[in-house]
Chain A
Amino acid sequence: DVKVTQSSRYLVKRTGEKVFLECVQDMDHENMFWYRQDPGLGLRLIYFSYDVKMKEKGDIPEGYSVSREKKERFSLILESASTNQTSMYLCASGGLAEIHGFFGPGTRLTVL
């Protein structure tokens, strides 16, 4: 059974902290994505990666960075967390053959 896992389901951080969200997929997918989901705004793409060490900005990259050192792992980094980054963060992966997304369970991040 295919799987995308995220490091935490719930996370509470303080303003100014550095936050790492990790995502791992076991499907050998080339593409990986980070979205955030907010009420009324839907899913918005933050960053995506189509290969190891490659990354592309999505629609809302400001305040975020990413790292993809290994094919199966895609990390989202909040360099200095702010309250407006409180959100549900969803990771997804997709292959060249399977163009639909496989999503992780999400991390609900609260920044106080």
Chain B
Amino acid sequence: SQKIEQNSEALNIQEGKTATLTCNYTNYSPAYLQWYRQDPGRGPVFLLLIRENEKEKRKERLKVTFDTTLKQSLFHITASQPADSATYLCALDGSSNTGKLIFGQGTTLQVKP
């Protein structure tokens, strides 16, 4: 069956450290994978998109990698800050040309000062 999985346990790290979140998928062949941030009671906000032919993408303190052989994406936040505390969702395209996204359950990140 098709699955997209993120670590359901919360990730607690110290301010200034690098946070690494994992997204694994099975039985999909996505053309791209996306990462979103969601704060409590709010809708998700898009952060980064990485395509299947890209290994790595960066945006300020964020870095995403995409390994289609391992069927895995890693999301890194360097020099983390308490304001980075949120739930992070990965999503991949469920079918071509419709923009339909399939989401993981999300990983909650807590950055302690």
Contact = CB atoms under 8 A, between A and B. Distances in A.
Nearest to B93: A99
Nearest to A9: B41
Nearest to B102: A45
A58 B100 CA distance: 9
Contact of B41 (A35, A50, A106): A106
A85 to B, nearest CB: 19
| Size category, B interface | 20 to 34
Interface in B79-113: 89, 91, 93-94, 98-106
Given A41-B105, A42-B105, A43-B103, A103 B98 contact: no
Interface string A70-109: 0000000000000000000010101110011111111010
Interface stretch (B44-52, B53-61, B63-71): B44-52
A35 B43 CA distance: 11
B73 interface: no
A103 B49 contact: no
Interface of B: 32, 34, 36, 41-46, 49, 89, 91, 93-94, 98-106
